[in-house]
Amino acid sequence: MNSALSPLALRQKVRAGEHTGDTSGFAPGFVQCNIVILSADWANDFLRFCQLNPKPCPLIGAGEPGNPALPLLGDMDIRTDVPSYRVFRDGEMTEEIPDITNLWRDDLVTFALGCSFSFEEALLADGLEVRNVTAGVNVPMYRTNIDCTSAGPFVGKMVVSMRPFKAADAIRAVQICTRFPSVHGAPVHLGDPGLIGISDLALPDYGDAVSIEEGEMPVFWACGVTPQVALEAARPPFAITHSPGCMLVTDLRNSQLAVM
């Protein structure tokens, strides 16, 4: 499926405006990241929020203030190498644009967070069926009643993604994802969705509903939408994120994230 371009070649197409859509399925085997860009005076609180909430906000890389490079993640320029950006002013999205060169400032700090594509690849490689992949839809995501630990203005409830499995596969999924703490790690819940404040699985807050078959249970992972919700609550004067599904593709291999 999709392109087997190297991460660098894909980023070069993105930079040239030749790839503007989502990155799911591209550069298989390589880590894709959620992106949050904040001014330096907001960055410390956000960094602390990530450290206090590592399951929804697993920090893979951070840039220096004003520097658009992330050398540990590959040869890249964060101003041009994400297919689509969302710009927020006072917590409201004001633009969705393919390039932020004109908005760059010498006080901006980039955060790259792990994303579920990496663990979905590990589940698929083990022979498990990932329903949202099979159905070709976005994974369903739900706001829960699980409080994040707040850091300054960054507060909020955890958002989770859901994938249904038979119990034995859910147990296997816990084992597989435990190896990958930097891409959300093991599930945070399984079974009764009401216990974490989800009233109807057919009505996700983000993404698309998926079928749950006889004998399957819903399994819930901490989700990278959580930091976006915290960002909306914090209402910084200026922030930039990737557009949903349009991730930063890095040179890190998913297998390099495995802790054992």
* Interacting residues with a copy of itself (CB under 8 A): 166-168, 170-171, 174-175, 178, 186-192, 195, 215, 217, 260
What does the buried/exposed string (b/e) look like for 46-63 if buried means 16 or more CB atoms within 10 Å of the residue's CB? bbebbeebebbbbbbbbb
- In whole angstroms, the minimum distance from the beta carbon of 181 to a copy of itself comes to 11
Shortest spacing between CB 126 and a copy of itself, in angstroms: 14
Cβ of residue 79: shortest distance to a copy of itself, in angstroms?
39
Provide, rounded to whole angstroms, the least separation between the CB of residue 239 and a copy of itself: 31
**55 vs 143, which CB is nearer to a copy of itself?**
55
Cβ nearer to a copy of itself, comparing 47 with 188: 188
Contact 148, 156 (CB under 8 A): yes
Whose Cβ is closer to a copy of itself: residue 32's or residue 182's? 182
Least separation in angstroms between residue 185's CB and a copy of itself is 10
**CB-nearer residue toward a copy of itself: 55 or 131:** 55
Q: Which is nearer to a copy of itself, 57 or 170 (CB)?
A: 170
Look up residue 35 and give its two tokens: 């992106």
Among the listed residues 142, 74, 68, the one whose alpha carbon sits nearest the alpha carbon of residue 99: 68
- Encoded amino acid at 199, one letter: S
Dist CA 139 CA 132 (whole Å): 5
Write down the least CB distance from residue 187 to a copy of itself, Å: 6
Sign for the CA dihedral angle at 211, 136, 131, 22 comes to: negative
Q: What 3-state class would DSSP assign to 89?
A: strand
C-alpha Rg value of the chain to the nearest Å: 18
CB nearer to a copy of itself: give 48 or 172. 172
* Smaller CB separation from a copy of itself, 202 or 260: 260
Q: Where are the beta strands (DSSP E) in 104-243?
A: 108-113, 141-147, 157-166, 189-190, 216-222, 238-242
Q: Give 131-138's long-range contacts (Cβ < 8 A, gap of 24+).
A: 131/163, 131/164, 131/210, 131/211, 132/163, 132/207, 132/208, 132/210, 135/208, 135/210, 135/211, 137/207, 137/208, 137/210, 138/206, 138/207, 138/208, 138/244, 138/245
Find the shortest distance in angstroms from Cβ 103 to a copy of itself: 41
Helix, strand, or coil (residue 231): helix
